[in-house]
Amino acid sequence: MKRLINEFINYLSVERGLALNTLESYGRDLRQYSQYLQQDDEASLDQATRATIADYLLFLQKQGKATATIARRLAALKAFYQFLVREKYLEKDPTAHLESPKLEKRLPRVLSIKEVELLLAQPNPSTPAGQRDRAMLELLYATGIRVSELVGLNLADVKPDLGYIRCMGKGSKERIVPLGSMAVKSIREYVGPGRNRLLRDRDEQALFVNHHGHRLTRQGFWKIVKKYADDAKIAKEITPHTLRHSFATHLLENGADLRSVQEMLGHADISTTQIYTHITKGRLKEIYARSHPRA
């Protein structure tokens, strides 16, 4: 099974061009399924039935896994088994006609404009690390790009003189996103002496580097953000998409049209972007309830 999983992951990488994070997620989910099968002497990859898959999903539920996690595991299994049938490794797909559990649509947490300003004020601009951190936070809030896109930026992807960045999104889709004046200012301050003092290798292409001079990771970035959130005494939980959600919500609250926000976020389907309209409607109701004398 290990060989087949590796072959499947290679197919997703070469034929479908999926991002590294997605490939790692598929591999992790399938290895955990493999471990589950190994615990059952009567179950194996070629003997697995629809009942086997259903039992596995029930096992995940009893473990306390979130509905979204179970849905993702099933999606990985469906894709894997479809690949095995197509490549003639199996005759039947045991996941066929199995429905994914319905997901509850949760409204994303967002920061208020005051909280964003407080967070952005935390880095110390007199140090190279502080200049880098300020530039990262300003850039993330100015563009709404994903954290993986942020840490994946190269120096050549940022055009402060022209006021935009070029980033590679999901499915290796490239998009151009405009930059605000504050983001441009902070990037210029960092790219000069700040980044040079952090570098160890002058040939390093990454825009944002860690104290070893190498490309900053997602984990490294979020440790930085959580530290500043604590310093700013922001009580709300910070997630990997908090500034992205805040970017979209604040744009819509201030009159941006949905299609433009969809383009900047890199959403393939506008229904994904529409969740932010629920947030802004909720805010309007709060304002109405507080402000209208007969609310």
How far CA 51 is from CA of 68, 72, 225, in Å, comes to 21, 18, 44
Domains of the chain: total: 2
Active site annotation includes 294:
no
Nearest CA to 85 out of 51, 45, 116 is that of 45
Both 132 and 237 in a single domain? yes
Q: What is the pLDDT of residues 178-226, one digit of tens each?
A: 898 999 999 999 998 889 999 988 889 999 999 999 999 999 999 999 9
Round the average pLDDT of the chain to a whole number and report it.
Answer: 86
Phi, psi of 215 (to 5 degrees): -55, 130
Tell me if 92 is assigned to some domain: no
Both 225 and 80 in a single domain? no
Both 25 and 131 in a single domain? no
Active site annotation includes 146:
yes
Average confidence (pLDDT) over 124-142: 94
Given the residues 146, 195, 245, 250, the one annotated as active site: 146
Check if the beta carbon of residue 170 is closer than 8 Å to that of residue 19: yes
Tell me if 106 is assigned to some domain: no
Active site annotation includes 106:
no
Indicate if the pLDDT at residue 133 is higher than 90: yes
Active site annotation includes 170:
yes
Write out the two tokens for 43: 């179950």
**Domain encompassing residue 202:** 113-290
Cα–Cα distance between 172 and 175 in angstroms, integer?
10
Active site annotation includes 244:
yes
Q: What is the pLDDT of residues 26-77, one digit of tens each?
A: 999 999 999 888 886 556 787 888 888 888 888 998 888 888 888 899 999 9
Active site annotation includes 267:
yes
Tell me if 104 is assigned to some domain: no
Task: Please name the amino acid found at residue 268.
Answer: A
Collect all residues with Cβ–Cβ distance below 8 Å to 4 and sequence separation of at least 6: 45, 84, 89
